[in-house]
């Protein structure tokens, strides 16, 4: 620890009054993230299985987008739960990476870059899930037909994120000085601020205000395109359905649209609602590290909810899993039926003897 930080820890920090428990510590995130990852893996593998091997002909158009979306969601899950789980100090715009890559000594800035890349790919895969379905509707005047047009389109979607790159110049080079400045903003952080490798992203208030604009534009771009394709699907399937499509096909289109809406809304709700609440309270001057840790752990459930959504929401996948579970239970009942008579005959022979 830097001598100035050590002096602050011994003198000023000892005067801080707060109740520090397990839920405030980085261990609550580490244990929760590993537990969530272990629980998620079987569901993720099952979702891969049903998408690859059990997708019916009626869903053939959506097989590749579903697989791409699930793949990038699984990658994001591994990154956030195992490789780079984060311990956030929101009032200070500071972060500590506490995962496997930190144990191997990978720089924090590189880990944050990996997280951003995984999040961008996952966000684009959600847009692709709706865009590919909307582009399959011949009546859709906004459909994207060629691969070249799709590449240009997705580059345009993420164009606002390019304006975040100048923020790299605002990252403090001397992190020890930045930590002392951060302590002026939030004098009593948890002990992890002094005991873990903390990275201060922004201290300058002007830079923080500048960061909000391109970040808001990037998020708005992703959500805007996502909602645009969703509206196109609703409009061309429900409002003005094609006269050249049979009633049966229209029914399948409506069913699939409802399915992917449920599939995507559950993970989004799990991530956005808890984090939005914590950020809102922080903007009004109230911050709890316990609440921040809980919100981040809720966000880690994204991969599990997405996998369960794929399996449960889509009827063909749900029927396959239900059929396999039914067969497994039936085999067990057959075994118990065969064993019971043999035990009865054996007990009868012993009685006769």
For the CA atoms of the chain, what is the radius of gyration? 26
pTM for the model stands at 0.88
Residues shown for the chain: 353
pLDDT value, residue 216:
84
pLDDT value, residue 343:
46
Query: How far is 353 from 342, CA to CA, in rounded Å?
Result: 17
**Residues ≥6 apart with Cβ < 8 Å to 135:** 143, 144, 145
Q: Which residue has the tokens 């000892």?
A: 14
pLDDT value, residue 334:
59
- pLDDT (tens digit, 9 = 90+) per residue, 287-323? 899 999 999 999 999 999 999 999 999 999 999 998 8
CATH number for domain 3-14+22-313, candidates 1.10.3470, 1.20.1070, 1.10.10, 1.10.540: 1.20.1070
Domain boundaries, the chain: 3-14+22-313, 317-353
Residues of the chain with pLDDT under 70: 332-353
């Amino acid at each position: 620890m830097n001598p100035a930080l050590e002096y602050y820890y011994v003198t000023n920090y000892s005067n801080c009054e707060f109740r520090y428990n397990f839920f405030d510590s980085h261990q609550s995130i580490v244990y929760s993230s590993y537990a969530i990852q272990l629980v998620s893996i079987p569901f993720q593998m099952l979702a891969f299985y049903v998408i690859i091997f059990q997708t019916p002909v009626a869903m053939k158009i959506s097989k590749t987008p579903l697989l791409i979306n699930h793949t990038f969601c699984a990658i994001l899950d591994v990154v956030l739960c195992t490789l780079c789980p984060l311990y956030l100090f929101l009032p200070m715009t500071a972060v500590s990476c506490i995962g496997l890559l930190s144990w191997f000594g990978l720089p924090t800035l590189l880990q944050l870059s990996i997280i951003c890349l995984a999040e961008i790919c996952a966000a684009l895969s959600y847009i692709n899930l709706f865009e590919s379905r909307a582009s399959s509707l011949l009546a859709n005047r906004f459909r994207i037909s060629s691969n070249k047009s799709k590449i240009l389109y997705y580059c345009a979607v993420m164009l606002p994120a390019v304006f975040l790159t100048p923020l790299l110049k605002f990252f403090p080079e001397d992190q020890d000085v930045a930590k002392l400045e951060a302590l002026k903003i939030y004098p009593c952080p948890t002990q992890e601020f002094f005991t873990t490798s903390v990275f201060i992203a922004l201290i300058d208030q002007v830079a923080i205000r500048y960061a909000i604009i391109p970040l808001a534009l990037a998020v708005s771009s992703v959500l805007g395109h996502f909602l645009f394709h969703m509206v196109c699907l609703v409009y061309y399937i429900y409002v003005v359905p094609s006269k050249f499509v049979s009633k049966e096909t229209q029914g399948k289109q409506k069913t699939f649209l409802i399915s992917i809406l449920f599939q995507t809304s559950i993970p989004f709700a799990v991530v956005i609602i808890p984090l939005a609440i914590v950020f809102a309270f922080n903007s009004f001057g109230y911050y709890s590290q316990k609440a921040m840790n809980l919100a981040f752990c809720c966000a880690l459930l994204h991969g599990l909810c997405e996998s369960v959504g794929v399996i449960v929401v889509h009827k063909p996948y749900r029927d396959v899993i239900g059929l396999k579970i039914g067969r497994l239970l039936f085999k067990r009942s057959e075994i118990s039926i065969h064993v019971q008579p043999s035990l009865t005959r054996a007990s009868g022979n012993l009685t006769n003897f």
